Structure formats: structure tokens, C-alpha cells
């Protein structure tokens, strides 16, 4: 009975566990894929307070925190969920977050921290983020790419307002002292305004009554097309601000501009379409000392240095404002002040024009240096003076130039005659030098031939003497050799004769000595046998075997002394 109870309990446990497994794995399980997130809604819990959109743990509603990638288990009775993509910020972009839920902003503030409701001050850089789309809106905008040759001046749009003419610090509203060097920055355009200003040389070019044109550098191209596009977008925004300033500037004095345009019979200056140049309806004119109206075409090269450019923007504004409010008024003022002390003809002939140009440049350098603007040079290209004074001066100048031309022609003719004379003398001298050279060459050649002949004769004489001496030496050698050979033969033959005498004396018998010499000369391998023939014939005896050998030739030689 007890065993049956235990078996029943174990069976119930197994059924419960199996049912739980089926419920959990079959109904509660869900999977969040790569680059996705799950937005969960809780069906149970405390109601949300008024104004709150996203729920925290224990509250009823859409949960603030989404679930990330992977496998999750939630009770479908108490929760709902949906799978959505994560927030992706691509390269070169920033994400501006607008929070629908959070604390209310303090009075006067329009940018929020991450726990406040509203537009966040901080932005999202390139990457992936799990932000609940039910509580946050993300707007993409371009990052700030400051190109080479430019710097960025930062103006904070939120915070406590600073005093007039002062730089803004952290948490303050206004222009900041620190500038942005060329590079990529992820900045909230709602929190900061970036003015991109050119550094290095720029030029104000004034053309008579047609006004002035400000030329700055062009953007340097980079190999990365995406980065180059970002830089172009930044410069385009800066151009829009300059267009706005130029539009406001042209509306302030349209009548004066129209009057000047009609007087010069020219169209009004158009707003440029490139950030590298823009036009201003200002020009340089002043009365001369003798009462004539002078118009100048000139160029002024200036530079905004990086360490002072933030202060310049704070005081005067962007580059068009700097040129419009500071540089052009000084050019006009100094031109009138210095130019009114010169006569009209001084701007056409003589040293007056160069002197005026130097005075203008030096004065502009001294004045604008105090305003943190560096002037490098000012050049006068053309001076427009009235015809009633220009024509006489031109005719007089032409006559003077014609007189100088005639004098120059006479001088040239005289120099040409002198040159012809010199050329004739040079040719004569050349012929003399040529003849003298040929004479010297002939003398040198004759002397060389004489020296060669003398050397050859001496050589032949030495060769003959050497041959004579060699013949004498050879004769002496031959005579001495013959004498030596004769002496050797005499000595050898004499000794041989003495040897023969001694041998003959030892043998004592000339016939025996002769037989001895004869025996020595015989072949040692030769055997001589003496056969004594008996009765019968020689041929019959030769057929008999065992013939007795009586002796050799040596036996025929008698003993010494016998």
C-alpha cells in the first residue's frame, strides 16, 4: 500500500515537471535575433503615475528596458512582447535623442540630461543602441567634419548667459574660446553652433565702382568620399549663414547700392554660390588734392590667425562681417586720408603711386594688428582718374616715352655700328691668329720630323756597333770552344794510347793482343766448335753424333808469357 502511494506521488511529480517543461519551453520561450530587441509590456502591476510613459519593474505597462539578443522566457499570460530592430547609427552620423518620458526640464532650459524629458544634450555616436522606441525618438544628422585649412568656433546655445564680450565656459551660453581643429566631431547641433572659418591667407579684391570681392581658400579634397561629403555639408551650412548675412546687409542700403550700380552702369553684386568667395557692395573712391575723383582697383591680403579667430568671431562675427565691419572701413578710411594728399597725376606717373601704396599697406598693418587681423600686403592694380586729366598726362607721357624711344634707337644704332667695327676687328684678328697657328704647326711638324730622323740614325748606328761587338764575341767563343775541343780530343786519345801501350806491355805479344781485342768484339752468345775430321769425308763425319769440342776461340789465345 505504501509502495503504491510513493509510485503515485512520483508519477504526479513527473507529470507536473513534464507539464512545466512543455509550458515553459513551448509557450514562454522566445528568441531575439542579432541586431534586434524585444519590447515587453507587463499586464500586471501598479498603474503608472500621470505623465509617465514607460514602466519600471513592478509597474504595469511598456517596460523601459528592452531585452537584448538571445533566448528569453516570459509568461505570456502576464506579458506581451514584440521584436523590433535596434537603433543603428551609421558612420559619419550622430543620433539626436528626444525622450518622451522622464523628469521635467528646469525653467529656461531646452536640452535634457539622460533622465529628463526632452532633447538630450548628449548625442549617440556611430554604433548600435537598445533604446525603447515607445519612449525615445532618434533623429539622424551629419557629424561635423572640419576640413583642412579651416577651424571651428563653438557657440554654446544653452546655459547661463555670459557678459557681453566674454567667452562662455562650461554650462554657459555664448562663444567658447577653445576652437576645433580639422577633424570629425560628433556634436549636437541643438546644443552647439559650429562656425567654420578659413585660416591662412584671404584676399579682398576691390574693383573700381563694381564693389569688392573676398576670395578665400577652397576646400582641400580628401581620398575618403564620405568624409569629403561631410566637409562639403559643413561648408554649405556656413555658406547659408553667410548668404543670410549678405542678404540682410544688402537690404540695409539698397538705394545706395542701386545708385552706385547705375552710376557705373553695372549689375548689382550677386550673392556667390561658393564658400570660397563672396561679394560686398563697397569700393574705394576719394578726392585727390587737386579735386579730382579717384577710384582704385586694389587687393589686400589678410590672415585670421587660429589662436585669435575665436575672439574675432566673438567681437565681429563671421568672415563677411569681419571684412564688412572692420577691413573695408579701414581700407576706405586710410585710402581717403592718405590719397587726398596726392595729386591726380601722382597716381599715374612718378613715384607717388608706389609711395601711396606703401603708406596704405603700413598703416593698415598697424591699425588692423590691434584688432587681431594680420595684413600681409596691399597692391594697387589700377587707378581710375577723370579723362580731362588722364589724357594730357597720357599724351605727355607718350611724348616722353617716344623721346626716350628715339634716344634709345639712336643709342642702339651707335652701338650697332660699334658692334660691326668690333666684329670686323675680331675677324681680322681671327685670321691673324689662324695664320700664326698654321706657321707654328708647320714649325713644330718640321722639328718633330728632324728629331725623329736624328733619333732613327742614332738608333741604326747603335744597332751596327752592337752587331759588330756581338760578332767579335761569337768568334772568340768559337775559337775558345775549338781549342777546348782539340785539347779534350788530344787528352782522350793520348790516354787511350797510353792504355793500349800498357795492355800490350802486359800481354807481351802483339798477336795475342790482337786476338784478345778480336775476342772482346765478338758476340758473347756465339759458340765456336772445332771438329777434327777422320777418315772419310767432312759430310759423313758431321752426321756422327757426339762430336768433341776442343775449345773456344779463347783457347786459341796463348797464355801470357808463352
Q: Same domain, yes or no, for 232 and 215?
A: yes
Is there a contact between 245 and 361 (Cβ–Cβ < 8 Å)? no
Can you tell me the distance from the alpha carbon of 545 to that of 394, in angstroms, rounded to the nearest whole number?
168
Tell me the three state secondary structure of residue 40: strand
| 271 within domain boundaries | yes
Predicted TM-score of the model (pTM):
0.58
Can you tell me the distance from the alpha carbon of 93 to that of 226, in angstroms, rounded to the nearest whole number?
11
Model confidence at 250, pLDDT cuts 50, 70, 90, reads low
Q: Is the pLDDT of residue 269 over 80?
A: no
Q: Same domain, yes or no, for 367 and 233?
A: yes
Q: Is the pLDDT of residue 324 over 60?
A: yes
At 94 the pLDDT is: 95
Q: Same domain, yes or no, for 484 and 542?
A: no
Name which of 120-129, 257-266, 280-289, 504-513 the model is least confident about.
Answer: 257-266
Name which of 71-80, 166-175, 258-267, 460-469 the model is least confident about.
Answer: 258-267
Q: Is the pLDDT of residue 12 over 50?
A: yes
Mean pLDDT of 240-257: 62
**Which carries the bigger pLDDT value, residue 187 or residue 288?**
187
Any idea what the Cα angle at residue 44 is, between residues 43 and 50, rounded to 5°? 90
Model confidence at 281, pLDDT cuts 50, 70, 90, reads low
**Which carries the bigger pLDDT value, residue 275 or residue 111?**
111
Q: Same domain, yes or no, for 375 and 409?
A: no
Can you tell me the distance from the alpha carbon of 341 to that of 356, in angstroms, rounded to the nearest whole number?
9
Can you tell me the distance from the alpha carbon of 96 to that of 550, in angstroms, rounded to the nearest whole number?
157
Handedness of CA 58, 63, 69, 73 (dihedral sign): positive
| 268 within domain boundaries | yes
Nearest to 196 by CA among 243, 252, 152, 138: 152
| 371 within domain boundaries | yes
At 556 the pLDDT is: 42
Is there a contact between 270 and 250 (Cβ–Cβ < 8 Å)? no
Is there a contact between 364 and 302 (Cβ–Cβ < 8 Å)? no
Model confidence at 273, pLDDT cuts 50, 70, 90, reads very low
Torsion (CA) 179, 181, 183, 186 in degrees, nearest 10: -10
Is there a contact between 72 and 29 (Cβ–Cβ < 8 Å)? yes
What is the secondary structure of 75-111 as a DSSP string? -TTTEEEEEEEPEEE-TTEEEEEEESSSBPPPTT--E
Q: Is the pLDDT of residue 247 over 90?
A: no
Nearest to 313 by CA among 202, 231, 196: 196
Can you tell me the distance from the alpha carbon of 433 to that of 23, in angstroms, rounded to the nearest whole number?
126
C-alpha radius of gyration, the chain, whole number: 66
Query: Tens of pLDDT along 109-150?
Result: 888 888 889 999 999 999 999 999 999 999 999 999 999 889
Domain end position, chosen among 358, 385, 412: 385
Can you tell me the distance from the alpha carbon of 503 to that of 281, in angstroms, rounded to the nearest whole number?
157
Phi, psi of 72 (to 5 degrees): -135, 155
Q: Is the pLDDT of residue 266 over 60?
A: no
Mean pLDDT of 197-219: 72
Q: Same domain, yes or no, for 319 and 233?
A: yes
| 561 within domain boundaries | no
Which CATH number belongs to the domain containing residue 227 in this structure? 3.30.479.30
324 CB-contact burial (10 Å; exposed 0-12 / middle 13-18 / buried 19+): buried
Name which of 126-140, 453-467, 469-483, 545-559 the model is least confident about.
Answer: 545-559
Question: What is the number of helices (H) and of strands (E) in the chain?
Answer: 11, 23
Model confidence at 69, pLDDT cuts 50, 70, 90, reads very high
**Which carries the bigger pLDDT value, residue 432 or residue 254?**
432
Percent share of the chain, pLDDT over 90: 19
At 96 the pLDDT is: 94
Rounded to the nearest integer, the mean pLDDT of the chain is 80
At 531 the pLDDT is: 60
At 272 the pLDDT is: 37
| 11 within domain boundaries | no
Model confidence at 99, pLDDT cuts 50, 70, 90, reads very high
Is there a contact between 110 and 63 (Cβ–Cβ < 8 Å)? no
Number of domains in the chain: 3
Nearest to 42 by CA among 72, 65, 70, 25: 65
| 394 within domain boundaries | no
Q: Same domain, yes or no, for 306 and 448?
A: no
Tell me the three state secondary structure of residue 163: coil
| 331 within domain boundaries | yes
Mean pLDDT of 335-344: 85
At 218 the pLDDT is: 57
Mean pLDDT of 206-227: 65
What is the secondary structure of 268-281 as a DSSP string? PPPPPSSTTEEEES
Domain end position, chosen among 507, 527, 547: 507
At 260 the pLDDT is: 40
Grid coordinates belonging to 398: 607718350
Q: Same domain, yes or no, for 372 and 353?
A: yes
Q: Same domain, yes or no, for 378 and 458?
A: no
Q: Same domain, yes or no, for 528 and 485?
A: no
At 93 the pLDDT is: 93
The H or E element that residue 210 is part of is none
At 267 the pLDDT is: 36
Model confidence at 246, pLDDT cuts 50, 70, 90, reads confident
Q: Same domain, yes or no, for 299 and 441?
A: no
Q: Is the pLDDT of residue 543 over 60?
A: no
At 559 the pLDDT is: 45
At 505 the pLDDT is: 77
Beta bridge partners of residue 353, listed in sequence order: none
Q: Same domain, yes or no, for 289 and 357?
A: yes
Query: Tens of pLDDT along 20-57?
Result: 777 778 778 899 999 999 999 998 888 888 888 898 88
Can you tell me the distance from the alpha carbon of 358 to that of 353, in angstroms, rounded to the nearest whole number?
9
Domain end position, chosen among 488, 507, 526: 507
At 399 the pLDDT is: 75
Tell me the three state secondary structure of residue 146: strand
Query: Tens of pLDDT along 383-430?
Result: 777 666 666 666 766 777 788 888 888 888 888 888 888 888 898 888
At 475 the pLDDT is: 84
Q: Same domain, yes or no, for 502 and 405?
A: yes
What domain range is 459 assigned to? 399-507
Pairing of strands 118-120, 111-112: parallel
At 144 the pLDDT is: 92
CA atoms within 13 A on the CB side of 61: 16
| 500 within domain boundaries | yes
Name which of 268-272, 324-328, 493-497, 551-555 the model is least confident about.
Answer: 268-272
Model confidence at 501, pLDDT cuts 50, 70, 90, reads confident
Mean pLDDT of 498-524: 75
Amino acid at each position: 500500500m505504501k509502495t503504491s502511494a510513493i509510485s503515485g506521488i512520483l508519477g504526479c511529480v513527473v507529470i507536473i515537471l513534464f507539464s512545466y517543461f512543455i509550458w515553459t519551453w513551448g509557450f514562454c520561450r522566445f528568441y531575439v535575433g542579432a541586431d534586434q530587441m524585444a519590447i515587453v509590456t507587463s499586464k500586471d502591476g501598479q498603474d503608472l503615475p500621470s505623465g509617465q510613459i514607460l514602466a519600471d519593474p513592478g509597474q504595469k505597462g511598456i517596460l523601459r528596458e528592452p531585452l537584448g539578443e538571445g533566448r528569453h522566457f516570459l509568461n505570456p499570460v502576464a506579458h506581451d512582447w514584440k521584436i523590433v530592430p535596434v537603433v543603428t547609427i551609421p558612420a559619419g552620423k550622430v543620433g539626436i535623442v528626444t525622450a518622451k518620458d522622464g523628469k521635467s526640464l528646469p525653467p529656461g532650459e531646452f536640452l535634457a540630461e539622460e533622465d529628463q524629458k526632452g532633447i538630450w544634450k548628449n548625442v549617440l555616436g556611430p554604433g548600435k543602441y537598445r533604446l525603447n522606441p515607445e519612449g525615445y525618438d532618434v533623429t539622424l544628422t551629419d557629424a561635423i567634419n572640419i576640413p583642412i585649412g579651416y577651424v571651428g568656433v563653438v557657440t554654446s546655445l544653452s546655459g547661463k548667459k555670459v557678459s557681453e564680450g566674454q567667452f562662455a565656459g562650461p554650462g554657459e551660453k555664448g562663444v567658447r574660446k577653445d576652437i576645433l581643429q580639422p577633424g570629425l566631431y560628433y556634436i549636437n547641433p541643438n546644443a552647439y553652433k559650429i562656425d567654420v572659418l578659413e585660416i591662412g591667407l584671404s584676399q579682398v579684391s576691390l574693383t573700381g565702382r563694381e564693389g569688392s570681392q573676398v576670395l578665400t581658400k577652397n576646400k582641400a579634397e580628401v581620398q575618403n568620399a564620405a568624409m569629403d561629403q561631410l566637409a562639403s555639408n559643413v561648408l554649405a551650412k556656413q555658406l547659408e549663414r553667410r548668404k543670410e548675412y549678405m542678404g540682410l546687409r544688402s537690404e540695409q542700403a539698397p538705394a545706395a547700392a542701386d545708385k552706385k550700380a547705375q552710376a557705373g552702369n553695372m549689375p548689382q553684386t550677386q550673392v556667390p554660390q561658393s564658400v570660397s568667395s563672396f561679394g560686398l557692395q563697397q569700393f574705394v573712391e576719394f578726392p585727390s588734392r587737386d579735386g579730382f575723383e579717384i577710384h582704385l582697383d586694389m587687393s589686400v591680403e589678410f590672415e585670421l590667425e587660429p589662436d585669435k579667430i575665436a575672439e574675432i568671431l566673438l567681437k565681429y562675427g563671421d568672415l563677411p562681417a569681419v571684412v564688412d565691419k572692420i577691413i573695408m572701413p579701414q581700407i576706405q578710411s586710410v585710402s581717403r586720408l592718405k590719397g587726398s594728399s596726392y595729386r591726380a597725376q601722382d597716381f599715374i606717373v612718378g613715384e607717388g603711386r608706389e609711395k601711396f601704396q606703401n603708406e596704405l599697406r603700413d598703416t593698415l598693418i598697424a591699425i588692423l594688428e590691434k584688432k587681431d587681423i594680420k595684413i600681409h600686403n596691399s597692391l594697387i592694380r589700377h587707378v581710375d582718374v577723370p579723362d580731362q586729366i588722364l589724357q594730357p598726362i597720357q599724351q605727355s607721357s607718350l611724348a616722353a616715352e617716344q623721346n626716350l624711344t628715339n634716344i634709345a634707337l639712336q643709342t642702339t644704332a651707335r652701338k650697332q655700328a660699334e658692334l660691326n667695327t668690333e666684329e670686323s676687328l675680331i675677324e681680322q684678328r681671327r685670321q691673324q691668329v689662324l695664320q700664326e697657328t698654321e706657321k707654328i704647326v708647320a714649325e713644330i711638324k718640321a722639328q718633330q720630323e728632324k728629331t725623329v730622323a736624328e733619333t732613327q740614325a742614332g738608333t741604326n748606328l747603335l744597332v751596327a756597333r752592337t752587331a759588330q761587338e756581338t760578332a767579335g764575341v761569337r768568334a772568340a767563343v768559337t775559337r775558345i770552344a775549338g781549342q777546348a775541343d782539340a785539347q779534350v780530343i788530344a787528352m782522350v786519345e793520348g790516354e787511350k794510347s797510353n792504355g793500349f801501350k800498357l795492355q800490350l806491355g802486359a800481354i807481351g805479344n802483339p798477336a795475342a793482343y790482337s786476338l784478345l781485342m778480336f775476342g772482346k768484339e765478338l758476340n758473347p752468345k756465339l759458340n765456336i766448335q772445332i771438329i777434327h775430321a777422320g777418315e772419310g769425308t767432312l759430310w759423313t763425319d758431321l752426321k756422327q753424333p757426339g762430336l768433341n769440342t776442343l775449345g773456344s776461340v779463347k783457347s786459341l789465345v796463348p797464355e801470357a808469357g808463352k
